[in-house]
Structure 1
Amino acid sequence: MERNHSLLLRAGALSVMMLIMSATTITARAASNGDHAPGNSFIGAFNTVTVVSSTVPLNGDVNPYGVAQVPRSKGKLAEGNFLISNFNNGGNQQGTGTTIVQIAPDGTFSQFAQIDASKVSCPGGIGLTTALVALQSGLVIVGSLPTSDGTSATAEAGCLIVLNSAGKVIETISGHHINGPWDMTAVDGGSLAVLFVTNVLNGTVAANGNIVNRGTVVRLLLDIDDAKPELLDSTVVGSGFPERTDPNALVIGPTGVAFDGETGILYVADSLDNRIAAIPNALFRGSSANTGFTVSEGGALNDPLGLALTPNHHLVAANGDDGNIVEINPVNGKQVAVKLVDNTGGPPPGSGALFGLIAVPEGVYFVDDASNTFNLLN
Structure 2
Amino acid sequence: MSTGLGSSVRTWLAGPPSDDGEVERGEQSDELVAGTALARRAVLGSWVVFAGLTVAFAAFAAADVAVPLRYRALAYLGLMGTISLYHGGFEHVVNLRGRGQGFRFRYLLAYLALIVIAYDLFVLSPVVGLALALSITALKAGHGGLAVLDAVVGTDHLRSRVQRALAVAVRGGAVLIPAYVVDPGLYAMYGGYMVNVFEPGALQPFLWLFADPTVSLVGGVYAGAVGAHLSLGGLRGRFSRSWRVDAGETLLLVAFFLTVPPALAIGVYFPCWYAARGTARLTAGDDGPSTARAVIGRVARGGALPWVGALVLFGLGAAFLARTPSSAAGWVGFYSVAISVIAVPHVVVGAYLDRKRGIWSI
- TM-score scaled by length of structure 1: 0.29
Higher relative contact order (CA 8 A, sep 6+): 2
- Which structure carries more strand by proportion? 1
Structure 1 or 2, whichever has the larger Rg, is 2
